[in-house]
Structure 1
Amino acid sequence: MSLARLLNLPTEIRALIFEHVVTEDQLVTFRLEPFQEDYYTSATQPALTRVSRQIRFESLPFWYECNNFVLHTEGRKADDGRKWLLCNAHHLDCVKRFSFWIRYVPLVNQRASSQGAISVSIYRQTKHACWLIDPHWLWITVVRKPVELAGDAKFLMEKLASIAPALSNDDALPDDYFGAMRDLRLYYVQEKTS
């Protein structure tokens, strides 16, 4: 089948095809370690967007709208997330869902800090709408959930609710999102260590 047949389909049918082809469970904006590649997908634009200009024009908005982009909040992975935000600055207004991974900080045993992360998310119903806080959070690891984790997640969602309005402006820049990542992590560490 030639590319011309795809382009001859009605726009609505092509839209359904593009939405199906470019949608993943979640896309991480940081470099993956070799062992993570079996579980996560990197947030690189799909090959479909390189087929032709018309297909790129029609399919790329679906990639940003239909996927959950994960931003890690610390270290090299946060720097990778910032680079991703800068490279995709012209499309940030199309993104409808971001998840922030915040490394868990234990109450007592500081060695356990690298054993998991809490994921909290923001989403919006339509392009240019205000960011909303997803009431569901995730524990990112195979290690058992610590007892106080629900309280930590609640704290993070409350802080995210105070940060999100600044991101809801149409002129929010990549550094605004990076600042939100940094602040969210900072508030959490301060709360756990004070």
Structure 2
Amino acid sequence: MNKQVIVRSACLALFVGLAGGCATGPGGGSIYVPVGSDDRRSAPEPPRTNIPDEQDEQVWRKSEQPTVTEPDSPSTRAPSYSESGDQLPAAALTLVRDADQRLRQGDSAGAIARLERAQRIAPRSSEVYFKLAEAYVAGDNLGAAEQFTLKGLSLAGNDERMQRSGWLLLADIRRARGNVAGADQAEARAAAL
């Protein structure tokens, strides 16, 4: 019983000590700055009352200071979708080639490990996701294979070659899972490209 009281007291003291430091910035200064103020090391503000006043300045944390940016013109703004998948960096390409060799040797687990590393290097490359799907098909994990194919399709953008290969891969996976209607739908999407 005494140990619990000591542990709780120690935890409470630690919490209070940490929480007390939350309202100060580096060097002990306030972390709050009036909106529109450029001087971050200004004199401390007078204490505020709890009564809201229309003339009071709005106060922001330093980390929450709004930044004013000019809106991009429509001609310079990037589209919100990817027009094409990312190109593979050399390191990711090497890993994909190694994974292909491992798949030919029947080592689907080794291929998946290499492709997951390639995915971390090139997380927006549809080719890596399609290769991961193929490796999961080889490992007889069709659910994961379908999900990786769908992710690859979402990153293929308007690259018709990648989209077509993704839709055909998805059709094969869905057919293997017994989803004939979904497979037909995927094949129709590939044929429409």
Scaled by the length of structure 1, the TM-score of the pair is: 0.27
Higher helix proportion (structure 1 or 2): 2
Larger Rg: 2
- Higher relative contact order structure (alpha carbons within 8 Å, sequence separation ≥ 6): 1
Higher strand proportion (structure 1 or 2): 1
